[in-house]
Structure 1
Amino acid sequence: MTQTLKTKVLIIGAGTGGYVAGIRCGQLGLDTVLVDGGDGLGGTCLNVGCIPSKAIIHAAGKFETVAKAAGDGTLGITAASPAIDLSQTVAWKDGIVRKLNAGVAALLKKAKVRVIKGWATFADAKTCRVETDDGPITITAEHVILATGSEPVELPFLPFGGDVISSTEALSLDAVPGRLVVVGGGYIGLELGIAYRKLGAEVAIVEMAERILPLYDKALTDPVMKWLTDHGVELHLGARAGGFGDGKLSITTKDGEPVQLDADKVLVTVGRRPRTQGWGLDNMGVAMAGPFVKIDDRCATSMKNVWAVGDLTGEPMLAHKGSAQGEVVAEIIAGHDKRFDPVTIAAVCFTEPEIVSAGLGPLDVAGRDDVITAVFPLAAIGRALAIEAGEDGGFVRVLASKSDHRLLGVQAVGQHVAELSNSFAQMLEMGAVLEDVAGVIHVHPTLGEAFHEASLRALGHAIHI
Structure 2
Amino acid sequence: MASVFCFNNVIFRGVRNFRGNTFYAFKTVNTQIRNSSSAVNKSNNSYEYDLVVIGGGSGGLSAAKEATNLGAKVAVLDYVTPSPRGSKWGLGGTCVNVGCIPKKLMHQAALLGEAVKDAQSYGWQFPDAENISHSWDALRDAVQGHVKSVNWVTRVELRDKKVEYINGVGVFKDPFTVQTVTKQGERLLTAKYFLIAVGGRPRYPDIPGAIEYGISSDDIFSLPNEPGKTLVVGAGYIGLECAGFLRGLGYDATIMVRSVVLRGFDQQMAEVIAAEMQDKGVKFLHKCLPKAVEKLDDGKLKVTWVNAQKEEFNDVFDTVLFAIGRRALTRELDLAKAGVKVAGDGEKIDAVNEQTNVPHIYAVGDVLYKKPELTPVAIHAGRLLARRLFGDSTVNMDYENVATTVFSPLEYGCVGLSEEAATEKYGADNLEIYHGYYKPTEFFIPQRNISHCYLKVVALREGDQKVLGMHFIGPNAGEIIQGFAAAIKLNLTVQVLMNTVGIHPTIAEEFTRINVTKRSGKDPNPASCCS
TM-score for the superposition, normalised by structure 1: 0.91
Is it true that 1:234 corresponds to 2:234 in the alignment?
no
* Matching residue's letter, 1:251: W
- The DSSP-based 3-state class of the residue aligned with 2:408 is coil
Query: Which one of 447, 453, 456 corresponds to residue 397 of structure 1?
Result: 456
Q: For 2:355, which of 294, 297, 300 is the aligned residue?
A: 300
User: Quick check: 2:90–2:148 contact (8 Å CA) kept in 1?
Assistant: no
Equivalent in the alignment of 1:184 = 234
What is the TM-score with the length of structure 2 in the denominator?
A: 0.80
Aligned to 1:36: 78
2:467 to 369, 391, 407: 407
Q: Report % sequence identity.
A: 26
1:368-407, CA deviations, whole angstroms, 9 ceiling, x for partnerless residues? 211221113232x546647977714212211122223211
In the alignment, structure 2 segments of 5+ residues that lack a partner are 1-36, 41-46, 81-88, 521-525
CA–CA separation in structure 2 for the residues paired with 1:198 and 1:276: 36
* Structural mapping, 1:124-203, within 5 Å: 124-157=174-207, 161-203=211-253
Output the amino acid matched with 1:413: I
Structure 2 distance, partners of 1:129, 1:309, is 20
Structure 1 residue 262, shift from structure 2 partner: 0.9
Instruction: Quote the Cα distance in structure 1 between the aligned partners of 2:208 and 2:151.
Output: 32
- Quick check: 1:312 aligned with 2:371? no
Structure 2 residue 473 is the aligned partner of structure 1 residue 416:
no
Aligned equivalents of 2:496 and 2:283: distance in 1? 44
1:343 matched to 2:400? The reply is: yes
* 1:3 Cα deviation from its structure 2 partner: 7.6
Q: For residue 280 of structure 1, report the CA deviation from its aligned partner.
A: 1.7
Q: Is the 8 A contact 2:75 2:166 kept in 1?
A: yes
CA gap of 1:217–1:69, structure 2 versus 1, over 3 A, is closer
Show the counterpart of 1:85. Answer: 135
- The aligned residue for residue 6 of structure 2 is none
CA change 1:104–1:292 in 2 (3 A) is: same
Q: Is the 8 A contact 2:432 2:461 kept in 1?
A: yes
Question: Is 1:217 aligned to 2:266, yes or no?
Answer: yes
8 A contact 1:389–1:414 mirrored in 2: no
Deviation of the 1:442 alpha carbon:
3.2
Aligned-partner Cα distance in 2 for 1:141–1:242: 47
Deviations 1:154-202 (A, max 9, x none): 1121555453101111111233333211111111111111211122222
Between 1:265-274 and 1:77-86, the stretch displaced more is 77-86
What SS does the corresponding residue of 1:248 show, helix, strand or coil?
Answer: strand
CA contact (8 A) 1:383 1:446 kept: no
User: Is the counterpart of residue 26 in structure 1 residue 68 in structure 2?
Assistant: yes
Q: Pick which of 118-127 and 227-236 moved more.
A: 227-236
Q: CA deviation at 1:47?
A: 0.6
Task: Specify which of 261, 266, 271 is matched with residue 325 of structure 2.
Answer: 271
Q: Measure the CA separation in 2 of the matches of 1:232 and 1:353.
A: 13
- Secondary structure of the residue aligned to 1:106 is helix
Distance 1:173 1:74 in 2: 34
The CA distance in 1 between the partners of 2:467 and 2:442, in whole Å, is 25
Counterpart of 1:152, as a letter, is: P
Deviation at 1:435, TM superposition (A): 3.0
**Which deviations, in whole Å up to 9, do the C-alpha atoms of 1:27-72 show, x marking residues without a partner?**
1111111112225322011011111111112112223444x479xx
Which deviates further from its counterpart, 415-424 or 349-358?
A: 415-424
Does residue 282 in structure 1 map to residue 339 in structure 2?
A: no
Q: Offset at 1:293? A: 0.7
Q: Which amino acid aligns with 1:319?
A: T
Instruction: Identify if the C-alpha distance between structure 1 residues 184 and 145 changes in structure 2 by more than 3 Å, giving closer, same or farther.
Output: same
Show the 5 A alignment for 1:32-111. 32-38=74-80, 40-66=90-116, 68=117, 74-77=121-124, 78=126, 79-111=129-161
- Structure 1 unmatched runs, 5+: none
Q: Distance in 1 between matches of 2:437 and 2:363?
A: 41
Matched, 1:9 2:66: no
Cα shift at 1:74: 4.1
Checking the alignment, whether the CA contact within 8 Å between 2:290 and 2:304 is kept in structure 1 is yes
CA RMSD of aligned residues (A): 2.7
Letter in 1 for 2:486: Q
In structure 2, relative to structure 1, the CA distance for the partners of 1:177 and 1:98 (3 Å cut) is: closer
**Aligned partner of residue 333 in structure 2, secondary structure:** coil
Q: Distance in 1 between matches of 2:445 and 2:162?
A: 48
1:214-257 CA-to-partner distances (Å, cap 9, x unmatched) read: 33334312332223322333221011111011221001123321
